[in-house]
Every structure is written in C-alpha cells, then in structure tokens.
Amino acid sequence: MAAAASDPTLRTSLERHLDQTRVQAQRLESLFLELDGAPGGHTCQAMRGLIAEGDAWLRQTAPAAVRDAGLIACAQRVEHYEISAYGTAAALAATLRLHHHAELLRFSEREEQDADLTLSAVATPVNRAAAQTTAV
C-alpha cells in the first residue's frame, strides 16, 4: 500500500507503521515463547478479506488523490481490526493474570490506535484533494 500511495505523508505513515508492525510481530513471538507456545499456524479469514479489499482498491483506476483516500479507508479498517484483536488478547491475558503479557499487548493496541489517528489526520487533506478531483 505504501508503494501505491501518491501522497508523501501517507506513504511515510504507511512505511513507518510497517516497521512498527514488524516490531509487534517480534513482540508477539517473544510472548509465545515465554508461554512455551509457537506463533502462527492460523490464518485469519477476516484479515485476509480486509487485505483482499485493499488489493482490489489498488487495482482501481482513479485519480491519485481518490486512490489515496481509498487506501486510507482500507488501512483504517485493518487498524480497527488490529485494535480489536490486541484489546481482546490483552483482556484475556489480564484475566489469566499474565500481567506482563497484557501490558505488552496493550502497548501494541495503543500503537495501532496511534496509527489510526495518524491516518485520520492524513485523510483530511487527502479527502479534500479527492473531492476537488471528482467535483463536477
């Protein structure tokens, strides 16, 4: 998605969050190892659907600002799903008295919330540009 973004602020935001996602994946791996578990092995069909939506949007022919607005919409749906997933996992960890795990999961949840807020801020000028592009 970052490579497809024409708005430089959007591209930078998506690239920065991709780096953050890699750190979150490492964080999850370490939590699994602490529990003598193995990460992976489950494909989330809902996330697969959200990614397919984003891929479909990338294939659309539209003015750059309109494409960027669509990318933001797709990315925010992914962020909202991730916020929910981390929140649920953190609540479960807290219930199981895995307080360190809950704390790290809440940290990831806050990172996702921050990414969503960043996308909302980027959306304001992008949406204005998209509206001007499509105004008749």
- Which residues, 6+ apart, have CB-to-CB distance to 34 below 8 Å? 100, 101
Q: Do the domain assignments include residue 83?
A: yes
User: Does the pLDDT value for residue 114 go beyond 90?
Assistant: yes
pTM of the predicted model, to two decimals? 0.90
Split into its structural domains, the chain has a count of 1
pLDDT given for residue 26 in this prediction: 94
Domain of 50, in residue numbers: 43-134
Q: Do the domain assignments include residue 1?
A: no
Q: How far apart are CA 81 and CA 118, in angstroms?
A: 16
Q: Do the domain assignments include residue 84?
A: yes
Which CATH number characterizes residue 77's domain? 1.20.1260.10
Region of 41 (left: φ > 0; alpha: ψ -120 to 50; beta: rest) is left
Q: Do the domain assignments include residue 76?
A: yes
Residue-wise pLDDT for 56-104, tens only, equals: 988 888 899 999 999 999 999 999 999 999 999 999 999 999 999 999 9
Q: For the chain, what's the residue count? A: 136
| Between residues 116 and 36, the one the model is more confident about | 116
Confidence of residue 118 (pLDDT cuts 50, 70, 90): very high
Q: Do the domain assignments include residue 60?
A: yes
Q: How far apart are CA 124 and CA 129, in angstroms?
A: 9
pLDDT given for residue 135 in this prediction: 63
Q: What is the CA radius of gyration of the chain?
A: 17
The DSSP call for residue 44 is: -
Q: Do the domain assignments include residue 15?
A: no
Q: Do the domain assignments include residue 125?
A: yes
